[in-house]
Amino acid sequence: MPTRRGMLGGAISGGIAAALPAAAGGAERPVISREWLTLASVPGASWATSRGDDIAAGGEGMARVGGEPVTTETLFEAASLSKPVLAAAIHALVGEGRIKLDEPVARHVDFTRDPVARAITPRHLLSHSSGLPNWRTDAGSALQCRFTPGKAFRYSGEGYVLLGRLAEAVTGQTAAQVVRSRVIGPAGMTRSSYGWAAGQRPAVAWAHDAGGEVLPDAGPARYEQARDAGPRRPVEAWTEIDRAAAARALGKADLPIFTTPNMAAGLWTTATDYARFLRFARRYPAMSSPAVRVEGTLSWGLGWAVEQAGGKRFAWHWGANDGIANLFVFDPVSEQALVVLTNGAGGQRVYERAARVHFAREFDAFTWLQP
């Protein structure tokens, strides 16, 4: 059985300003310190906190070990924090009348011959209750359900890629273009994209292993390799045919886990931009309304996870590509949020500690997330 961390394989110096007792002069104490990063063998982290419309952000450590410092402008792989951004775009299409939450996806996308899977709806995909696998890796393998859609929780990156294909089918745009026009642009996510063009070299965070050493074939290098294998136009304009061709050019199966842009895990963003997204996504309350039970106090809404205990409800999601570990936690009532992006495999230890201190509580989610 894969670990929960593995399921996502699938993104200003001084630390995080947190909800802690104020220091002398009313200043807030930092949450993330250089010492925390050192203990976890994580070179760098970027953060943002918000309450309502007010956002504070910063960074600590290095974008690449031995290299440039992390700043508020440093791009990180969002990893599976990409999924809620796509989910918000799907909700926008629902509002436009282009998608119906309870209409089978197969009416628009011919994605399977499995009669059970043909009953999958956007509601099932958004809440990870479709029964589809997380990822397929074998060429020629078909999408099949493990259970009747809607009956249980099973995390599925394939499901979110299918949501992207649905968005393309009903709009005539690529999924990345749909997200840009419905979410990235309106939310003011000025630094976020599904990658950069050849010849550009933005400030990006590199991925690092559990010992804090750079992973030379992951992160930016992996993205650029995939980009250069495909058509000479922005990856956000790549069609399904283009994505499959680029994967094959790299000697890989044309399956969603190998395609670029991967709508379930391929966004590049900053902590500030992601905090802007959380502010924007408040217009879609169904994302925070439990739709399927996971375990104990944990459930999944139509776009992200929900923890509900002791009269409090928190929305949250984590992300983990190779050498990357990210988290957001959002209180829909107080509109208080924390976003932590790290560039190390040990980043889970950093973001968990930051969330515990920032919200002054334990989270059942972190026990569930243990590898």
Q: Is residue 194 part of a domain?
A: no
User: What pLDDT score was predicted for residue 140?
Assistant: 85
pLDDT digits (tens, 9 = 90+) for 252-272: 999 999 999 999 999 999 999
Q: Phi and psi at residue 299, in whole multiples of 5°?
A: -145, 180
* 232 located within any domain: no
Does the model's pTM come out above 0.85? yes
Give the pLDDT confidence score for residue 31 in this predicted structure.
62
Query: How many other CB atoms sit within 10 Å of the CB of residue 84?
Result: 30
pLDDT tens across 102-135, in order?
Answer: 999 999 999 999 999 999 999 999 999 999 999 9
- The Cα 238–Cα 231 span in angstroms is 8
351 occurs within a structural domain: yes
Confidence of residue 82 (pLDDT cuts 50, 70, 90): very high
- Domain contains 278: yes
CB atoms within 10 A of CB 231: 15
Between these two residues, 160 and 8, which has the higher pLDDT value? 160
| pLDDT value of residue 188 | 98
Burial of 291 per CB tally in 10 Å (0-12, 13-18, 19+)? buried
Percent of the chain surpassing pLDDT 70 = 91
Residue 206 has pLDDT above 90, yes or no: yes
4, burial (CB in 10 Å: exposed 0-12, middle 13-18, buried 19+): middle
CATH of the domain at 302: 3.40.710.10
CA dihedral 14, 353, 66, 213 (to 10 degrees): 180
Residue 321 inside a domain? The answer is yes
Taking the CA atoms of 115, 116, 117 and 121 in sequence, report the sign of the dihedral they define: positive
311-342: pLDDT as tens digits: 999 999 999 999 999 999 999 999 999 999 99
The answer to whether the beta carbons of residues 255 and 137 sit under 8 Å apart is: yes
Q: Give how many domains the chain has, as a whole number.
A: 1
Residue 5's pLDDT band, with cuts at 50, 70 and 90, is very low
Q: What is the pLDDT of residues 218-229, one digit of tens each?
A: 999 999 999 999
Is 238 inside a domain boundary? no
**How confident is the model over 163-183, as a mean pLDDT?**
98
Measured in residues, the chain has a length of: 371
Q: Domain residues for 331?
A: 6-80+204-220+264-368
**Residue 287, domain member (yes or no):** yes
Residue 175 has pLDDT above 50, yes or no: yes
pLDDT for 352-368, tens place per residue?
999 999 999 999 999 99
Percent of the chain scored above 90 by pLDDT?
88
Write down the pLDDT at residue 1.
33
Q: What is the mean predicted confidence (pLDDT) over 37-65?
A: 96
Neighbours of 209 (CB within 10 A): 15
Output b/e per residue, 22-31; b: 16+ Cβ within 10 A.
eeeeeebebb
pLDDT in the model for residue 9? 34
State the residue for tokens 């996806």. Answer: 105
Flag whether 308 is in a domain: yes
Tell me what the pLDDT averaged over the chain comes to. Answer: 91
